[in-house]
Amino acid sequence: MQNEELKSRITELLPAATYDESGEWLNINVEPSDWPAFASQLRTDASLSFDYMFCLTCIDWKTHLTMVYHLSSTAFRHNIVIKSKLDRNKPEIRTVCTLWKTAELHEREVYEMFGVHFTDHPDLRLLILPEGWEGKNPMRKDYEDPINMIKL
Amino acid sequence: MFRETEILQTASQVSSTGGDLEGAGDLVINVGPQHPATHGVLHLVITLNGETIKKVEPHLGYIHRSIEKMCESLTYRQFIYVTSRMDYLSAHMNNHACALCVEKGMQIEVPERAKVVRVIMDELTRIASHELWWGAMAMDVGAFTPFFHAFRERETINEIMEETCGARLTMNYYVPGGLMAELHPDFQKKVKSFITLFKSKIDEYDELVTGNIIFQNRMKGVGYLSAEDAVSFGCSGPTARGSGVSSDIRKLYPYAAYDQVQFDEVLENGCDSFARYMIRIREMKQSVRIIEQLIDNIPEGDFQAKTKAVLKLPKGEFYTRVETARGELGVYIVSEGGTTPYRIKFRSPGFSNLSALDQMARGSKLGDLVAMMGTLDLVIPDIDR
């Protein structure tokens, strides 16, 4: 499907979604509370069937965090980007690792690097960082480490 | 630290319930971080029941350098060099993805010559990477000789790279706008003689390893990954194609000069380690085919587009992907309009491929783990970043 068709189909599924079409792919902004139900519709809807999550990450905008999910369909080869704004002080969103198994490790990475809490995640703990780094979130913009960080 | 707590828990479960509890009697062992079969510092914590694997849990981070954070303070010309250190066996492809992303953002038109040379370089790297994998794979399952055969041919590629790029492993040859330098005068001649050499050797590989009955017995039916799981785990590259999932970025979303060449996307339906093995062997032949089509047809002209001294990406988000030897590498740049990226994310193929290991390994014997890990072709710096 082209971006226009995707947009009209997604508006049917989630009227509250807002769009940004400046990029190559359709960007869809959703509320964290809408995300679990919407995600499962994206995964299962026969005309969308977004079965391949090729990127999951987070951006720290200093005022808030944004979760970014890149989804693709192996059947139709269309791509979309889902974005969800999170409160920086208490970032929380439902896990999607039951829909896309790859999300499990990616969410663990985002959890330790940005401190986003994924509710209902089966095994939410540090992945890359060693013990003792809980709550330090090194990928946030305000993270300071005078010893290990070299600023140019 | 993890190991002790885990074993203590298991032991206390056994003593408190008299051994009736689910999971009692399980053995937790560590493979790595220093283990020859992990090909780097990968740490797997494996839960065993007898000899049967119940769970494989990767512990990452032994070579984590936080390349993403580092890139936030490097300019668009500088950050490309760091990415050679991610998947060091596909250094050219890593650079390619980054260069493409900057070019997309700045709308730089890359000269035809650079596009074609990039494809040749990428495919040479793919052959070199698959050769190293092939030698190491055979060594993992007990055959030592193939390793020397593989390295003998790989050496020729390294020499070609050294002449043109000045480096053998972390090449840093691609810059936004094209290539860093002109090709070495002997480049075409050397590549052609390599192709002739390699074509006579690739059948030798089949004789030596592929047809070997002991090898086939170790690989067939091992590490089953269904097509549905491969997609769900985000697998790409040979790992996904071994399960019959079409995922070749070169075909699906052609970049550089890939739309000008004839080649087949290699697919196997075995879903097991042997299928993934066959994919890489057949891919090497396709790479040779691509190089043969291009090596005599490198267009004349500039090797680099004229770019500004200081690159500034416009405000926005840019995502490009390329097919590395391990699969789909995505580069996601969020720009605020400055000279450095605001946020950069590398979607590394190894990270997603590794997540499927647990699914593959559950229920099989510990001895088969090496045969599964080998066909995932893990490069640890690519996973940890």
Closest CB to B332 among A22, A57, A74: A57
H-only helix segments in chain A: 3-13, 35-44, 103-114
Amino acid identity for residue B245 in this structure:
V
Res. B64: pLDDT tops 50: yes
Question: Are residues B103 and B164 both part of a single domain?
Answer: yes
- In this prediction, residue B4 has a pLDDT band, given cuts at 50, 70 and 90, of very low
* Shortest alpha-carbon distance between residue A150 and chain B (Å): 9
Instruction: Using pLDDT thresholds of 50, 70 and 90, give the confidence band for residue B18.
Output: very low
Q: How far is CA A119 from CA A32, A68, A75, A87, in A?
A: 11, 17, 30, 15
Residue B167 binned pLDDT confidence (cut-offs 50, 70, 90): confident
Residue in B with minimal Cα distance to A43 = B232
- By Cβ distance, the residue of B236, B247, B319 closest to A70 is B319
Q: Check whether residue B287 and residue B309 sit in a common domain.
A: yes
What secondary structure does DSSP assign to B20-61, as a single string?
-STTTT-EEEEE-SSBGGGTBS-EEEEEEETTEEEEEEEE--
The continuous run of DSSP H or E covering B318 comes out as strand B316-323
Cα distances from B36 to residues A82, B30, B86, B208, in angstroms, run 41, 13, 20, 22
> Rounded distance, CA A92 to CA A99, Å?
18
Q: What whole-number distance in Å separates Cα of residue B97 and Cα of residue B99?
A: 6
Q: What is the pLDDT of residues A92-139, one digit of tens each?
A: 888 888 888 888 889 999 998 888 888 888 888 888 888 888 778 888
Q: Is residue A61 part of a domain?
A: yes
Task: Please indicate, yes or no, whether residues B187 and B246 belong to a single structural domain of this protein.
Answer: yes
Tell me the pLDDT tens digit for each residue of B177-203. 888 888 888 888 989 999 998 888 888
Is residue A139 in a domain?
A: no
Domain count, chain B: 2
Q: Is residue A86 part of a domain?
A: yes
Q: How many Å apart are CA B341 and CA B80, to the nearest integer? A: 12
Both tokens of B94, joined, read: 């890593």
By Cβ distance, the residue of B60, B74, B343 closest to A128 is: B60
Q: Which residues pair with B335 in a beta bridge?
A: B316
- Report the candidate in B261, B264, B229 with the shortest Cα–Cα distance to residue B245: B229
How many domains does chain A contain in total? Answer: 1
B53 and B72 fall within a common domain: no
Shared domain for B185 and B273, answered yes or no, is yes
- Name the one residue in this structure whose structure tokens are 């000008």: B260
Q: How far apart (Å, rounded) are the C-alpha atoms in residues A138 and A115?
A: 9
- Answer whether B68 sits within 8 Å of A139, measured CB to CB: yes
Query: Is the CB of residue B138 less than 8 Å from the CB of residue B215?
Result: yes
With CB atoms and an 8 Å threshold, state whether B64 touches A129: yes
Contact B10, B23 (CB under 8 A): yes
Q: Are residues B97 and B184 in the same domain?
A: yes
Inspect the interface and report whether the beta carbons of A60 and B343 lie closer than 8 Å.
yes
- Chain A residue numbers with beta carbons less than 8 Å from the beta carbon of B330 are 54-55, 70
B312 phi and psi, to 5 degrees? -130, 120
Whether A76 contacts chain B with CB within 8 A: no
Let me know whether B13 and B93 are in one domain. no
Q: How many CB pairs under 8 A join A and B?
A: 80
Domain of A100, CATH number, reads 3.30.460.80
A110 → chain B, closest CA residue: B345
Q: Chain A residues with CB inside 8 Å of B355's CB?
A: 101-102, 104-105
Q: Which of B42, B59, B76 is the last residue of a domain?
A: B59
How many CB atoms lie under 10 A from the CB of residue B264?
12
**Residue A59 domain-assigned?**
yes
Q: Taking CA atoms, what residue in A is nearest to B329?
A: A54
Confidence band, pLDDT 50/70/90 cuts, at residue A151: low
Cis ω for the linkage preceding B33 (within 30 of 0):
yes
Average pLDDT in the B25-47 region?
82
- Integer Cα distance of B242 and B224 in angstroms: 10
pLDDT at B22: 62
Residue that wins the pLDDT comparison between B20 and B352: B352
CB atoms within 10 A of CB B216: 14
Q: Do B351 and A55 touch (CB under 8 A)?
A: no
CA distance B378 to B356: 12
Distance from CA of B293 to the nearest CA of A (A): 28
The C-alpha atoms of residue A24 and residue A81 are separated, in whole angstroms, by 10
Same domain, B287 and B175: yes
- Which residues form the domain of B23? 2-59
Q: Is A112 on the interface with B (CB under 8 A)?
A: no
Q: How far is A14 from chain B (nearest CA, A)?
A: 24
* pLDDT band at residue B1 using 50, 70 and 90 as cut-offs: very low
- Residues of A within 8 A of B351 (CB-CB) are 105-106
Residue B159 sits in the same domain as residue B26: no
Chain B contact for A53, CB < 8 A? yes
Interface contact flag, A138 B1, Cβ < 8 Å: no
Mutate to test the interface with B, among A22, A50, A52, A152 (most CBs of B within 10 A): A52
pLDDT at B338 over 60: yes
Pairwise pLDDT comparison (B37 vs B368), residue with the higher score = B368
Q: Which of B145-149, B229-233, B309-313, B333-337 shows the lowest mean pLDDT across its residues?
A: B309-313
> Are B154 and B272 in a shared domain?
yes
B29, B369 contact by CB (below 8 A): no
User: 3-class SS at B17?
Assistant: helix
- Cβ contact B384–A128 (<8 Å): yes
ipTM for the whole complex: 0.88
Does residue B169 share a domain with residue B78? yes
CATH of the domain at B318: 1.10.645.10
Q: Output the six-digit token pair for B120.
A: 């040749």
Within this chain, do residues B129 and B204 fall inside the same structural domain, yes or no?
A: yes
pLDDT in tens, A9-58: 777 777 777 888 777 888 888 888 888 888 888 888 888 888 888 889 99
Q: What torsion do the CA atoms of A78, A79, A80, A81 make, to the nearest 10 degrees?
A: 180
Read off the pLDDT band of B21 (50, 70, 90): low
- Chain B residues within 8 A of A70 when measuring between CB atoms: 319, 330, 332, 347
Q: Residue A125 domain-assigned?
A: no
Domain enclosing residue A81, as ranges: 3-119
